[in-house]
Amino acid sequence: MKAAQRQSSFELLRILSMAMVLVVHLDGASLGLPEPNGEIVAMSARDWWCLVVESLSIIGVNCFTLISGYFGIRISWRGLLKFSASCLFYSLGIYLGLVVTGLLPWQWNDFADAVMIFSHTDLWYVPAYLGLYLISPILNAGVENLEKGRFQRCLIAFVAFNLYCGWWWGAQFNATGYTVVQLIMMYLIGRYIGRYGMFFPACNKHYYLLAFLLCSGAITLQAVFCNAAWTYAYNSPLVVLSSVAFFQWVGSMRFESRVVNTLAASSFAVYLLHKNPYIWGNIIKPASIYMWQEFSLPTFTVFVLLAVVVIYLFTTLIDRVRIFLLSKW
């Protein structure tokens, strides 16, 4: 299957990927993750819930980047300006909105941080994706000028280097996958699939789902016996395999939906809004911690599901206004 035009299956994957990012932030990023150290008997239902949910959702960022690779980034000044404007709309807009409403005092340092979102930010994916965007012409040229066999060998070598030196030994260039190096790796895997089709194309698409579930189970077991930060690194071999399996499962679907396409257009905005330091630190993270501490596990599960839906839909409404305003320029 070649990447020709955007299909709703991949737009659905954008939505699911960002929903997974939200779940990870409501789970491990808010609550912290248990460290069972192999003591399975001592694990509570809440411990298992945290690890299983994290294992199923940790692939969101990788899948998001695989989509970019599958279709290929086409760099342009217009695209760069749109990306920058989107980031500034939420970073600067939220800060100024809080100042105008009197919820936050004006500080030049805070204003500067809001403007310099590509360098002064906790949103690591923003500068990392910008780096990927800027280097994408070089990556695309290399992919397009390499014959399939050589591309395979180069990709395998790069992935092996990244996993061995970065994940296994914790080299600073990509110890946990929160870097542009990780994005480049996932982008190249996506480019390979986009040019040459899915891995194991003869398989029934449900085998991709089975592979994803098996990888998620293996990740959970690894977290029981190993360090959680190491287990849930984006460049963990199991996380990478799980990401590719889920990508192929959803990507192999065939349907068209205007609703899905509309919601997917605002997926990155969901990240920019909910992870904004003022929104994240004062609303979302405290709410998740409070619900976890004060309510039962089933109630907290419902809270997470509702929070994902509400945050996504609320952001989409705001983003439709942003898109409308930009269309008038």
Pick out the chain residues at pLDDT < 50: 1-5
Question: Any long-range contacts for 104-109 (C-beta under 8 Å, 24+ apart)?
Answer: 104/278
The pTM assigned to this predicted structure is: 0.94
Buried/exposed code over 240-250 (b: 16+ C-beta within 10 A; e: otherwise): bbbbbbbbbbb
In this structure, is residue 28 part of a structural domain? yes
Q: Work out how many domains the chain is built from and give that number.
A: 1
Structure-token pair, residue 90: 């939420």
Buried/exposed code over 120-134 (b: 16+ C-beta within 10 A; e: otherwise): ebebebbbbbbbbbe
d(CA 13, CA 4): 17
Helix, strand or coil for residue 204? coil
Q: Residue ranges of the alpha helices (H) in the chain?
A: 8-26, 28-31, 45-57, 60-71, 77-100, 108-115, 125-145, 148-161, 180-196, 205-225, 228-231, 237-251, 258-264, 267-274, 277-279, 285-294, 297-327
In this structure, is residue 221 part of a structural domain? yes
Residue 45: give the domain boundaries: 8-327
Confidence at residue 112, expressed as pLDDT on a 0 to 100 scale: 93
User: Of the candidates 239, 224, 235, which has an alpha carbon nearest to the alpha carbon of residue 58?
Assistant: 239
Confidence at residue 329, expressed as pLDDT on a 0 to 100 scale: 63
In this structure, is residue 3 part of a structural domain? no
Confidence at residue 6, expressed as pLDDT on a 0 to 100 scale: 61
In this structure, is residue 305 part of a structural domain? yes
In this structure, is residue 2 part of a structural domain? no
Structure-token pair, residue 219: 């990740």
Residue with tokens 């709309």: 89
- Do residues 273 and 25 touch, judged by C-beta distance below 8 A? no
In this structure, is residue 1 part of a structural domain? no
User: Of the candidates 127, 133, 120, which has an alpha carbon nearest to the alpha carbon of residue 75?
Assistant: 133
Q: How far is CA 169 from CA 150, 161, 178, 226, in A?
A: 27, 11, 15, 15
- Do residues 170 and 49 touch, judged by C-beta distance below 8 A? no
Q: Which amino acid appears at position 14 of this protein?
A: R
In this structure, is residue 218 part of a structural domain? yes
In this structure, is residue 220 part of a structural domain? yes
Confidence at residue 328, expressed as pLDDT on a 0 to 100 scale: 65
- Do residues 235 and 182 touch, judged by C-beta distance below 8 A? yes
